[in-house]
Homo-oligomer: A and B are copies of this chain.
Amino acid sequence: MRQAPDPDRGVRSRDAILDTATELMSVHGYAATSISMVSAACSLPASSIYWHFGSKDGVYVAVLERARMSLLSALPPVTVPGADIGQRLDNFLQAVGDAFQRHPRDVKLLIALGMLQRTASAAALAELHRYRDALLAWARDSLTSVFRLHDRPEVSGQLARFALRAASGTAVARWFDPASTLDTDALRVALLALAAHHGVPLGASASEPAHGRQSSG
């Protein structure tokens, strides 16, 4: 039996390059990751990488784009289920904590590669901001649903920024202490207090979580 010509070798190679580049760039950062490192790690010649992506910047844009789609598709829809604020907030925090825990490289990429700024191409910068904006929008819409803030966009905006910064700060903490996890309990208390501070009606059950998930780091 003859060996099949394997018409998918191209896409599999492309994926392998992206996998390797994602791994290396999330560890070493963009500048410290060379094409030769990627080439050696995925056992494909450098010229194949250039054939698929055109340039190192092209690799970077593709890596970012895939990371954004991967992380966003792991986040549940913005209409958070739950009978009351307490339940919906728990669901939201669990979704954030799970995505954060299970996609460490995606989060780290967003932050680490965000440093490029002037160095990066216009396409790279655009992709980076698309990534950030999508996360912020998801958080804002979700928190609007959690706290029923449809008529208070400035409040949901502040809560979303606060949550995103807590998550970013935890990602930073994690590369000093890899055991760090998102402190969802503290974030729960803080978001409830912030909502109350802005006069958002909370109801009675909100102040007690369904079940404790303590974390440290």
Contacts and interface: CB of A to CB of B under 8 A. Distances in A.
Given A119-B28, A189-B194, A190-B190, A114 B165 contact: no
Contacts of A161: 173, 183, 216-217
B193 A189 contact: yes
Contacts of A28: 31, 115, 118-119
Contacts of A166: 162, 165-166, 169
Interface residues of chain A: helix, strand, loop or mixed (majority): helix
Interface residues of A, number: 42
A176 interface: yes
Contacts of A119: 28, 32
Contacts of A56: none
Contacts of A20: none
A164 interface: yes
A31 B162 CA distance: 31
Interface in A171-217: 171-173, 175-176, 183, 186, 189-190, 192-194, 197, 216-217
A93 B29 CA distance: 32
A112 to B, nearest CB: 5
A52 interface: no
A158 B189 CA distance: 13
B168 A172 contact: yes
B175 A115 contact: yes
A163 to B, nearest CB: 9
Given A114-B175, A129-B176, 10 more contacts: A29-B31, A29-B115, A162-B183, A165-B166, A165-B173, A165-B183, A166-B166, A166-B169, A190-B190, A193-B193
Interface of A: 27-32, 111-112, 114-119, 128-129, 132, 158, 161-162, 164-173, 175-176, 183, 186, 189-190, 192-194, 197, 216-217
